[in-house]
Structure 1
Amino acid sequence: MEESRDPLLQPNNVTESVNTNGDNSRFNLINRGGKNQNFIGPGFPGLKKRGHAVGNRSWIKIEQNGNSKVVELDKATVMRHCCLPARDLRLLDPVFIYPSTILGREKAIVVSLEQIRCIITADEVFLMNSLDGSVVQYKSELCKRLQEEKYHSDDLPFEFRALELALEFTCLTLDTQVKELEMEIHPVLDELAKSISTLNLERVRRFKGHLLALTQRVQKVCDEIEHLMNDDGDMAEMYLTEKKQRNSCNDLYDQVQGNIISTSTMGTGGPTLGMGMVSKSAPVSPVGSASASGSIKLQRAFSNISSHNKHGSLLSSSVTGEPENIDQLEMLLEAYFVGIDNTLNKLLSLKEYIDDTEDLINIKLGNVQNKLIKFELLLTAATFLATVFAVVTAVFGMNFEDDVFNEPNRFNWVVSISASLCGVLYICFLFYFKHKKVFPL
């Protein structure tokens, strides 16, 4: 990768990271009244001098021929060169996290898709420089495709090739992440369905958080592409090459018309007679020949421009003002919309699988809870009857004299009858629960 500065930008717009004054210190000490003060400029004593490189960012500039180089540009230079407002550059700021966005402007397309953050013009791409693998792959793949395609014709203009590659990398990256999440989460869900444990529940909770975040990212990309497809004006705004050729055509047309008018004025500038009639002695005017040559030049210009325009909407839109033919971009967006929508459906299916697993777990937990309630109910009935039997033993345990204690057989009969009554009552409880359908027996 060649590191250089952009030659089309002003030298004073590209700031150096070294100190041009050659001082070793970062600020000058100026002695005033025997006291040393930190000073930079009039009226701001005590402030440290900032480096010249503050505000500059590293960009990768990719040209139409596939050449790339690293440039250091500040925000004002990028805004002026690409005719962008400051709010569009904030979308590309790596410090902030913004959702995926594709904006069509007058002379540029602002693309912020996952890690791919770039500004696409009709002639070049300014890619935010980063060590991220997606950025490096995007840069190398775009340069490779541009170098291969310059030897044969391609229907897509330069800006659409760069936009297509950004969409392709974004869709492939998101689809890969979805597949990896599926491979990780399916075994965990199957294990959780077999054995419910705190560890498995914690793992599923963590994967569900990743799934929610990934779904939001995919949904935002899908919504952004769908929004562009539904807005013909935004799609027409993205034909940067066509607009550039149209502007060149209009400038050439105005220039030729100006030449014709000036030639006509010079040709009719001879002496005239009253009522605006040209004198017979005036020289012959070359208006016809000049008009014919100007018309030939204009016709050639239009024919050259229309030959580069594959879908034939340039001349019609520039002359008649009719809407541009946006079928080319619409088909491009539709192809990637289908892919990203398929990825979104995978995430929704995975979310439904998680919900089904949660429902299965809740059913199992409800079954276990019902068994516990059944056991508790039976245990409560047995405890009640045991308490009744204990009352009988408590009565006989009191300190009083009775004839029943003189005959041991009576005591045995009392204990037997009490135990039998308790058993009969327990059976009655069971039939009562069955009649009320508290639980099947």
Structure 2
Amino acid sequence: MEEVRVPFPPSNPEPSSSHMRFDTNNRGNSLSQVFGFSNVKKRGHGSRSWIHIDKNGISKVLELDKGTLMRDCSLPARDLRLLDPMFIYPSTILGREKAIVVNLEQIRCIITADDVILMNSLDGCVLQYESELGKRLQAKRDQSDDLPFEFRALELALELTCMFLDAQVNELEMEIYPVLDELATSISTVNLERVRRFKGHLLSLNRRVQKVRDEIEQLMDDDGDMAEMYLTEKKERMEAFAETNHYVQNLSSGSGMVSKSAPVSPVSSTPAYRKLERAVSSLLPLSRHGSIISSSDNGFNIEKLEMLLEAYFVVVDNTLSKLLSLKEYIDDTEDLINIKLGNVQNQLIQFELLLTAATFVATIFAVVAGVFGMNFKPALFKYGPGFSWVLVVTGIGCAVIYMSFLLYFKHKKILPF
């Protein structure tokens, strides 16, 4: 990949010979001559680094400003904001008149009928997209493939996005399953904190995968949006319409020249070029934007794009199913933990109940001992072993009361024994 830089203009430019040039091997070719862009602004005036990939798979790094992209790709400013790395937007695929705006995870690009303008980044997905697209285009250069250029670029973006999301899901599964199994056997604060972090990551990843799935599903449900993405076919129709229009203008100008010298026939009231114009207008209907835009009603077959989107919809739906299964496993583990904690709590309540009954019985024994410990001389103390009998009778009475409590708890099934 060769980097293209735009130098700053000199302080005193010459009036007629100052042109913007690139520091490449083909020095002297302007951006508009090489890539079809009309102007490149200086760095610091809204310019960003982009990777340009043409149909032959050759990539170059360019410095392009927002105005140039809006003008050459016929895009509004709100579409370019989706590609701004300073903002975080959900995954989006937009079909426009001359371009497809793709914002899928780290891959942010503009796909036209002739090239791909990719946001330059050191991210692995971006570098992989650039190299893989170049390899595929160069490999298929001499092969017959009915898939147009824009669909190849879109397919690779969907493929890498699905692979990236699926890899993250697999990595999360490898990390979280052992932690959940350990938490099920040993409930501790450390394990609970780790599961909490993993669950937050899971919810975030689930939202991203769900947004990609919803975006593909929305495109599949709207035939008009899918028809907008046939950029190559729209371009061919535009070129055919321009050639036909040029031919009609030449024919009309030629017939006008002949009409000055030739007599007007009363039979043919409608000239031949008028009939040709009506035939062309019937074959090439204009859209609401005043240009020839593809739609299913105009004869475009959207089956190719629909099959492409359906294939990756199945892939991303499978990834979403993995996340849902993982979430269900986490929920099941949480339910198991709650059951174990509830069981421990029940055991503590049972122990507390037994301890309360024993405390009550001991209190009775203490009351009897307290009564006999008062400052008076009962007749029972005149009998030698009398105090011992008091202790024995009180102890037996307390034991009977405690056993009565246990039988009552067993009858009411409060205790498991």
TM-score by length of 1: 0.80
Tell me, yes or no, if structure 1 residue 15 matches structure 2 residue 73.
no
Moved more, 428-437 or 77-86: 428-437
Distance 1:192 1:320, change over 3 A: closer
Instruction: Tell me the alpha carbon deviations over residues 46-71 of structure 1, each in whole angstroms, 9 at most, x when there is no partner.
Output: xxxxxxx2311000000001111011
AA at the equivalent of 1:99: P
Q: Aligned residue for 1:127?
A: 118
User: RMSD of the alignment, in Å?
Assistant: 2.5
- Determine the C-alpha separation between the residues in 2 that align with 1:170 and 1:200: 32
1:414 aligns with 2:390: yes
Maintained 8 Å contact 2:38/2:72: no
Other structure's SS at 1:366 match: helix
2:156 maps to which residue?
165
Partner of residue 398, structure 1: 374
| Post-superposition CA distance 1:86-114 (Å, at most 9, x none) | 00111100011111000001100000000
Q: Which amino acid aligns with 2:366?
A: A
Structure 2 counterpart of 1:337, from 313, 318, 338: 313
Instruction: Report the Cα offset of residue 240 of structure 1.
Output: 0.4
The answer (yes or no) to whether the contact 1:222–1:341 under 8 Å persists in 2 is: yes
Task: Note the C-alpha offset of 1:236.
Answer: 0.3
TM-score (norm 2): 0.85
The CA deviation at 1:11 is 9.0
Offset of 1:14 from its aligned partner? Answer: 1.8
- CA positional deviation for 1:411: 1.3
Q: Does residue 140 in structure 1 map to residue 139 in structure 2?
A: no
Cα distance in 2 between the residues matched to 1:66 and 1:144: 7
CA distance, structure 1, for counterparts of residue 295 and residue 109 of structure 2 = 33
Q: Which residue of structure 1 lines up, in the alignment, with residue 286 of structure 2?
A: none
| Structure 2 residue identity aligned to 1:322 | N
1:327-382 Cα deviation digits (max 9, x unpaired): 00000000000000000000000000000001011111111111110000000000
1:325 maps to what in 2?
Answer: 301
| Corresponding residue SS for 2:85 | coil
Give the aligned residue type for 1:58. S
2:37·2:68 contact (CA, 8 Å) conserved in 1? no
CA contact (8 A) 1:222 1:340 kept: yes
- Cα distance in 1 for partners of 2:393, 2:411 equals 27
Aligned to 1:178: 169
Q: What letter is aligned with 2:108?
A: R
- Counterpart code for 1:2: E
Q: Which runs of 4+ in 1 moved over 3 A?
A: 9-13, 316-321
**Aligned CA distance change for structure 1 residues 268 and 320 (closer, same or farther; 3 Å):** farther
Matched pairs, number: 374
| Change over 3 Å in CA distance of 1:261–1:239 after alignment to 2 | same
The residue correspondences of 1:275-314 to structure 2 (distance < 5 A) are: 276-277=264-265
Q: What's the CA shift for 1:119?
A: 0.4
Determine helix, strand or coil for the equivalent of 2:385.
helix
- In structure 2, what is the equivalent of residue 311 of structure 1? none
CA distance in 2, matches of 1:320, 1:373: 71
Q: Which residue of 2 aligns with 1:389?
A: 365
- Given the alignment, which residue of 338, 342, 351 partners 1:375? 351
Deviations 1:137-191 (A, max 9, x none): 1000001111111111111100000000000000000000100110111110111
Distance in 1 of aligned mates of 2:299 and 2:216: 21
The CA distance in 2 between the partners of 1:363 and 1:340, in whole Å, is 35
Q: Give me the whole-angstrom Cα distance separating, in 2, the residues matched to 1:410 and 1:395.
A: 15
Gapped regions of structure 2 (runs ≥ 5): 5-21, 23-29, 284-291
Selected match of 1:233 from 204, 224, 230: 224
Contact kept, 8 Å, 2:158 with 2:312, in 1: the verdict is: yes
Question: 1:344 aligns to what SS in structure 2?
Answer: helix
Q: Which runs of 5+ in 1 are unaligned?
A: 18-52, 279-286, 303-315
TM-aligned CA deviation for residue 321 of structure 1: 5.8
Residues 317 and 324 of structure 1 are in contact (CA less than 8 Å); yes or no, is this contact kept in structure 2? no
Q: Residues of 2 paired with 1:388 and 1:144: CA distance?
A: 92
- Contact 1:235–1:330 (8 Å) recurs in 2: yes
2:329 matched to 1:350?
no
2:48 to 40, 47, 57: 57
Shift of 1:250: 0.9
State the distance in 1 between where 2:262 and 2:300 align: 49
Code of the residue aligned with 1:135 in structure 2: it is V
Equivalent-residue separation in structure 2 for 1:367 and 1:99 (angstroms): 44
Matched, 1:89 2:89: no
Residue in structure 1 matching 2:95, options 97, 104, 129: 104
> Contact 1:2 / 1:68 at 8 angstroms: preserved in 2?
yes
Q: Secondary structure at the match of 1:155?
A: coil
Supply the distance in 2 between the matched residues of 1:187 and 1:277 (Cα, whole angstroms): 93
| Aligned mates of 2:296, 2:162 — CA distance in 1 | 38
Deviates more, 1:263-272 or 1:58-67: 263-272
Write the deviation string for residues 190-245 of structure 1: whole angstroms up to 9, x where unpaired. 11111111111111111111111110100000000000000000000000001000
Which one-letter code corresponds to 1:146 in the other structure? L
3-state DSSP of counterpart to 1:66: coil
**How far 1:15 sits from its partner (Å)?**
2.9
The 8 Å contact of residues 317 and 323 in structure 1, kept in 2 or not, is answered as: no
Identity over aligned pairs, percent: 66
* Offset, 1:256: 1.5
